């Protein structure tokens, strides 16, 4: 019986990945389709991808698959063959290849069965996720950005929007997709007759969001095919103006792909222009926030003097302080601020 999960420590796996000499390709893909037995599908895919030394994060559910992975370049064709043949719905599936890639995005394969491939919070049984909006290719995206009667809606989290977004895009300020869906409906309730373009990183969230908007009575709903990744790739290949400004946040070790030279965000500590996300070095915090090189040196990679002080304590004292601590939100939010979030003070219920 083959081993169907990792048994090696993260530290050792990361060291092995960093020591690799063969280049890797980071790629993401998703597909909404019916999987009758997600666990059996997961186990078979885990065996084949492990054999090819694929790393990454993959979620499988009855509604489909969502993946961000890293593949050795010499095995990329073999990977595509395995993936395309794993299910008829995945034959020739679109693969979003990373725009900026050092091959060090993942160091272990985690393949999990979930209730949903994207946590959406939808419990309406009449909702049909297959009734989606119209796909837009890069040239169509640019044409619609210049249309004053079209609204672009960013279906990513607030910290993703902060470092990069399409010109004039509407932010739906939230930490989670499940909160964004009803927020988007409410924010745009007076615009049901307008053209609405949804977009996200690789397409998976905005595709479902387009179906949710149609479900809620919106008439002219579109979404960017392949998300920001595919749009930027195609626009550059075709010599089109790139209308996305700044960085595209990604959920791996890179934390971002630069789309344009524009830096539209600011350091959360000093306010200087910066769009580099990092996690607080204090193991009792790990807050995700934006930090410039100067503040990284000043605060030793921490988000505050409190965390910097705690980081310098003996390990046993650090562990004692973390014991029983309320974790709270670990993403910087302007409405909460660094101090409140770092100290893990629960936010008010109406926040």
Catalytic residues: 200
Question: Nearest 5 degrees, angle CA 330-CA 331-CA 332?
Answer: 120
Q: Specify whether the CB–CB gap between 106 and 193 falls below 8 A.
A: no
Angle between helix 76-85 and 38-51 (nearest 10):
160
Q: What is the distance between the alpha carbons of residues 209 and 199, in angstroms, rounded to a whole number? A: 9
Q: Is 14 exposed, middle or buried, given 0-12, 13-18 or 19+ CB atoms closer than 10 A? A: middle
Q: What is the distance between the alpha carbons of residues 330 and 240, in angstroms, rounded to a whole number? A: 38
End-to-end CA distance of the chain: 50
Sheet holding 24-32, edge to edge: 96-97, 24-32, 64-72, 55-61, 109-113
């Amino acid at each position: 019986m083959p081993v169907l999960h990792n048994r090696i420590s993260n530290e050792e796996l990361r060291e092995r990945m960093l020591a690799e000499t063969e280049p890797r390709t980071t790629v993401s893909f998703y597909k909404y389709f019916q999987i009758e037995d997600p666990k059996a599908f997961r186990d078979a895919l885990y065996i084949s991808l492990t054999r090819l030394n694929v790393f990454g994060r993959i979620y499988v559910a009855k509604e489909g698959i969502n993946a961000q992975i890293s593949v050795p370049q010499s095995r990329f064709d073999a990977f595509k063959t395995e993936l395309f043949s794993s299910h008829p719905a995945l034959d020739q599936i679109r693969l979003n290849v990373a725009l900026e890639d050092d091959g060090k995005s993942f160091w272990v394969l985690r393949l999990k069965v979930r209730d949903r491939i994207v946590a959406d919070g939808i419990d309406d049984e009449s909702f049909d996720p297959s009734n989606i909006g119209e796909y837009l290719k890069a040239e169509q995206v640019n044409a619609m950005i210049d249309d004053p009667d079209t609204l672009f809606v960013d279906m990513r989290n607030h910290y993703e929007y902060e470092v990069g977004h399409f010109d004039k895009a509407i932010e739906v300020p939230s930490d989670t997709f499940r909160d964004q869906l009803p927020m988007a409906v409410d924010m745009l309730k007076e615009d049901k007759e307008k053209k609405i373009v949804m977009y996200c990183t690789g397409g998976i969230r905005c595709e479902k969001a387009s179906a949710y908007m149609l479900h809620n009575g919106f008439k002219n709903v579109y979404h960017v095919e392949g998300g920001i990744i595919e749009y930027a790739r195609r626009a550059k290949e075709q010599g089109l103006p790139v209308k996305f400004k700044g960085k595209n946040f990604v959920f791996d070790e890179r934390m971002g792909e630069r789309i344009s030279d524009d830096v539209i965000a600011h350091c959360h500590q000093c306010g200087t222009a910066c769009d580099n996300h990092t996690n607080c070095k204090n193991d009792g915090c790990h807050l995700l926030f934006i930090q410039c090189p100067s503040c990284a040196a000043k605060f030793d990679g921490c988000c505050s003097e409190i965390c910097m002080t705690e980081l310098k304590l003996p390990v046993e004292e650090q562990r004692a302080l973390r014991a029983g601590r309320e974790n709270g939100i670990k993403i910087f939010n302007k409405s909460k601020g660094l101090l409140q979030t770092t100290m893990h003070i629960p936010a008010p219920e109406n926040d």
